[in-house]
Structure 1
Amino acid sequence: MNWQKRLWRPESSFRLMAKLLQVNWLYVLLICALAGVGYLALYSAGGGSAKPFAGPQAVRFGFGLLMMVLVALLSPRVLRWLSVPIYLLSITLLGLVLRMGHVGKGAERWISLGGMQFQPSEFAKIALVLALASWFYRIDPVRMGNPLRLIPPALMVLLPVALVLKEPNLGTGVIIGVIGATMFFSAGMRLWQILILVAPIPFLGKFVYAHLHDYQKARIDTFLHPEHDPLGAGYNIIQSKIALGSGGMWGEGYLRGTQGQLNFLPEKQTDFIFTMIGEEWGYAGAVSVIALLGILVLGGMLISLRSRNQFGRLLALGISVDFFMYCAVNLSMVMGVIPVGGVPLPLVSYGGSAMLTMMFGFGLLLSTWVHRNEKDRPTSDVAE
């Protein structure tokens, strides 16, 4: 009867059930609400049909939801053990993009996996957060004053940034850099060290602009003067502003947005999905969606603050910053505050890579909540 005991252990089942009860189901409900907004917007983008956008997106979300709950049950020890393999996998995938990637709109960002187009740069952000949280967990914050101890994690950030910029993908490269800098600061990096790192940035603008690709320069020039080419490079942002403005306070009505339904609005299912929401749901609907995004960001920050161990704090913070940067860049882009770039609105824009990697990230965030009461061990015992 020993084999029966091995197959089913009551104490293991009780622990699993206890972890499931510990999951922050309110946060899960908010995630589902945001995905619901995305489904309605994509249904409208498809002309009042679940095909070709809303239906596949719902299937992806269902798979992502299951993955998120399973990841939430993983212990911090398992996540720390997986951090290095996941990071190395992300770097390998970024390298494969440069050798055999799919070219689209002037950039080489996708690879084919099992018949699906996958964007490794999205996965690289989550992998970096996991790797940095694991690294800083093993270092005594007091020793952060030694610059030599910052070289390995700095290289961990610079490597994916360099590979992503090589694609080229400037927007995602900047987001990865911001995530890394935030985690450095939160891990105990000294202010003078941060100033040394950021001091050259204002003086690199001209150098960076000179080495941008032509389409990237066009985006910046269009951002500054969109009216110079209203039917060419400036078309996207001009149509986006028209759609947002036409929504008024309460919107033109669901499935009744003129710019979106008459296909004047480009990329309405991906980059400019929020513009469709603003046009059809108006200012009230747009602000409500922004509020929902803000609640998810703040919820992630609160989970970080509630964690009693360094690994959980940094992990939750990194995921929250990643989600915030997604939202901030996309919303600023469609409103004309920053140049247009290929950054989707998480769980709302159509696309599998961003959806699944963000759901994996939310799983890490919920794992931090489930194991929030685990304390750090003494520094001398941290190395595993």
Structure 2
Amino acid sequence: MTGSQLFSQRANGGLGSRRGLWSILHLDPILLLLLLVLVAGGMVVLYSGADRNFAVVEAQAVRMGVALVVMLVFAQLDPSVYRRWAPWLYLVGLGALVAVLAVGVGAKGAQRWLALPGLPRFQPSELMKLVVPMMAAWYLSRHFLPPRLSQVAIALAIVLLPMGLIVQQPDLGTALLVGAAGLFVVFFAGISWKLITAFLGMVSVAAPLMWFFVMRDYQKQRVLTLLDPQSDPLGAGWNIIQSKTAIGSGGWSGKGWLQGTQSHLEFLPESHTDFIVAVLAEEFGFIGMLVLLSVYLLIMLRCLYIAVNAQDSFGRLLAGALTMTFFIYIFVNIGMVSGLLPVVGVPLPLISYGGTSSVTLMAAFGVLMSIHTHRRMITA
């Protein structure tokens, strides 16, 4: 074997090198390490948020294990597979959303799940967080970019149709995440600022109409509570008031792990799910929040790096949209817990207790790793 052949083999991950192992697994080691750090830290906070209930932590660990396996599976598929299957997955997803409205399983006043014979109950709207940006990226990547006005209109229809079906369940939080994922694809396709301004103007005009004709009574109450939590301090405003109290009492360094009073004395509701960031802020203070946000920032920077270096338009649009959807999760959850946004039931990604959102997020990271690692193999 000549020196040039040996160098080529090592560059492509041969001779059992570390890079070769990651290439075989189709995983990005930097992104994987950051995700594992986030999940491990989340388990620590969850143990406290669940009032030292180790069974909750065990259940979450099982869910995270399943989510990691899903990520590994999604990473193995070539991006061309996602491009080829995007239209069919979109049609199946729309059919499932219609089925939810017709024969779905209801709970707590919402009808969001399907229970098919032989399958566990599942929430089709969660799948659309991946399928909608995939479909929008498939459509726009088939045309020259930036897209023309007619192409933008079709892409918006692709996004708004499932979003409207999800709103009817009703599930405003998931609808916003699905809509944001698709709209980020349209934005990254390079539309003009005039179109963006016009779209924002249309949203502003439609907002009052949504208040009267779209939003449910409980959704209106959430907005009113955001504007004045003290109007009903023992009812609708209780969650926000206690959450802000927990965050403010943490100070610079926090009260210490397992020493939070708002959560352990049961003032703070949903302390291990939607409001878990208040537990973190109370026990670890500003420093703990800074560490959490730094890990989130590093994850997003790595994902944006993957998006910028994607091999084709489909990969760039999809990777960019999935990255920004992750950001929306963080922004909405911390915003609502801090009293800056209405409470819409969006969990803190990979920290809050729950399996569905974690599996969806890990699947998205698997797609990102697929885009990155398959690109390296092709260009090697």
Give how far 1:135 is off. 1.8
Give how far 1:112 is off. 3.9
Give how far 1:318 is off. 1.1
Q: CA distance change for structure 1 residues 355 and 137 in 2, over 3 Å: closer, same or farther?
A: same
Aligned to 2:174: 172
Q: Is the Cα contact below 8 Å between 1:100 and 1:111 reproduced in 2?
A: yes
Superposition map of 1:332-343 within 5 A: 332-343=335-346
Give how far 1:120 is off. 2.4
Superposition map of 1:201-280 within 5 A: 201-211=203-213, 212-280=215-283
For 1:321, which of 320, 324, 337 is the aligned residue? 324
Kindly report the root-mean-square deviation, in angstroms, between the aligned alpha carbons of the 2 structures: 2.3
> Runs of 5+ in structure 1 lacking a partner?
1-13, 377-384
The residue identity in structure 1 corresponding to 2:241 is I
- 2:122 and 2:104 map into 1 onto residues whose CA distance is 10
Aligned to 1:287: 290
Greater CA deviation, 69-78 or 170-179? 170-179
The residue identity in structure 2 corresponding to 1:172 is T
Aligned to 1:140: 144
For 1:127, which of 120, 128, 131 is the aligned residue? 131
- 2:89 and 2:59 map into 1 onto residues whose CA distance is 26
Give how far 1:375 is off. 8.5
SS of residue matched to 1:372: helix
Give how far 1:22 is off. 5.6
Aligned to 2:34: 30
Aligned length: 360
Give how far 1:29 is off. 0.9
Q: Percent identity?
A: 38
> Is 1:198 the counterpart of 2:200 in the alignment?
yes
Give how far 1:117 is off. 4.8
Q: CA distance change for structure 1 residues 323 and 18 in 2, over 3 Å: closer, same or farther?
A: closer
For 2:23, which of 19, 34, 40 is the aligned residue? 19
The residue identity in structure 2 corresponding to 1:275 is A
- 2:120 and 2:293 map into 1 onto residues whose CA distance is 30
Give how far 1:308 is off. 2.9
Deviations 1:174-200 (A, max 9, x none): 232232222112113233333333322
SS of residue matched to 1:141: coil
Give how far 1:79 is off. 1.7
Q: Is the Cα contact below 8 Å between 1:308 and 1:374 reproduced in 2?
A: no
TM-score by length of 1: 0.87
Give how far 1:116 is off. 4.9
- 1:264 and 1:156 map into 2 onto residues whose CA distance is 43
TM-score by length of 2: 0.88
Give how far 1:130 is off. 1.4
Q: Is the Cα contact below 8 Å between 2:156 and 2:183 reproduced in 1?
A: no
The residue identity in structure 2 corresponding to 1:185 is F
Q: Is the Cα contact below 8 Å between 1:257 and 1:279 reproduced in 2?
A: yes
